[in-house]
Structure 1
Amino acid sequence: MKLNLRIGLALASALALSACVSPDVVTKTQVGDAKLTCTEIEVQLNQLEDIREEAKKGKSMSGENIAAALLFWPAVIGNHSNAKQALEAANERHEVLVALAERKRCKL
C-alpha cells in the first residue's frame, strides 16, 4: 500500500512539474544586433511572438495551471512570475528590434 502511495505521489509531482510554463526570458540587446539583416530582424520578431504566447499561457487560468495549483501550489507563483518577466523582456526586445528595423529602413 505504501509503495502505491509513493508511486502515486511521484506521478502527481511529475504531472505538476510538467504543467509548469517556462518561456524564454530574452535580453533587451544582444551582441551583434547592429549587424542583423532585415530578414534576421523579422525572424527574431516572429520568435518574440512565440515567446509572448507561451508567457501568456503562464499567466492564464489554464487547465495546466489549475492542476499545478491543486497538486503543487508554489508552481503557480513561479509560473506567473516567470511569465511576467518573460513578457516584459520580450516587449523590451521588440522595441529594440523595431527601432533597429526603422534605422535600417526595413519593410516589415
Structure 2
Amino acid sequence: MRKTVSSGWVILVLSGFLSGCATPEVVQSKQVGDSEKSCDQLRSAYVEAQEFEAKARKERTVTGRNVAAALFFWPALIGTYSNTEEAINAAKDRQRHLEKLAEEKRCKLN
C-alpha cells in the first residue's frame, strides 16, 4: 500500500519555510513626535535606524535559511530580497530625516 502526503502537510512544510525566511522590520522614516525629540533622543533614534539597516543587510547575506529557501521554495528568496531592500531604504530614509532634525536643532548625532 502506497502512502500519499496530504495537502495539509505540504502547506505546513511550505509555511515553515516561508516563516523561516528573513523579514527585517521596515521602519517609518517619519514618526510621530520626532520633531519634539531632544538631542539625546534623536541620537538614540539614529543609532536604532542604523541597527535596522545593519540587520536588514545581514538578512541579505547567504544564510542556511536563505539557501534552503532557494533550494526548496525559490519565490521565498525573491520575497526576502525585496523585503530587505525595502527595509534598508526605509532605514536610510529614517537616518536622513533624523539628520535633518538634528541639524535644525544643532545636535550632533555622532
2: CA distance, partners of 1:12 / 1:33: 42
Does structure 2 retain, via aligned residues, the 8 Å contact 1:28–1:92? yes
Structure 2 residue ranges without an equivalent (≥5): none
Aligned partner of 1:62 in structure 2 is 63
Aligned partner of 1:49 in structure 2 is 50
Q: Secondary structure at the match of 2:95?
A: helix
Q: Which structure 2 residues correspond to residues 72-87 of structure 1 after superposition, within 5 A? A: 72-87=73-88
Normalising by structure 1, what TM-score? 0.81
Does structure 1 retain, via aligned residues, the 8 Å contact 2:49–2:91? yes
Stretch deviating more after TM superposition (73-82 or 40-49): 40-49
Structure 1 residue ranges without an equivalent (≥5): none
* Structure 1 residue 100 corresponds to structure 2 residue 104: no
Stretch deviating more after TM superposition (10-19 or 65-74): 10-19
Normalising by structure 2, what TM-score? 0.79
Count of residues in correspondence between the two structures = 107
Identity across aligned pairs (percent)?
Answer: 39
Does structure 1 retain, via aligned residues, the 8 Å contact 2:50–2:95? no
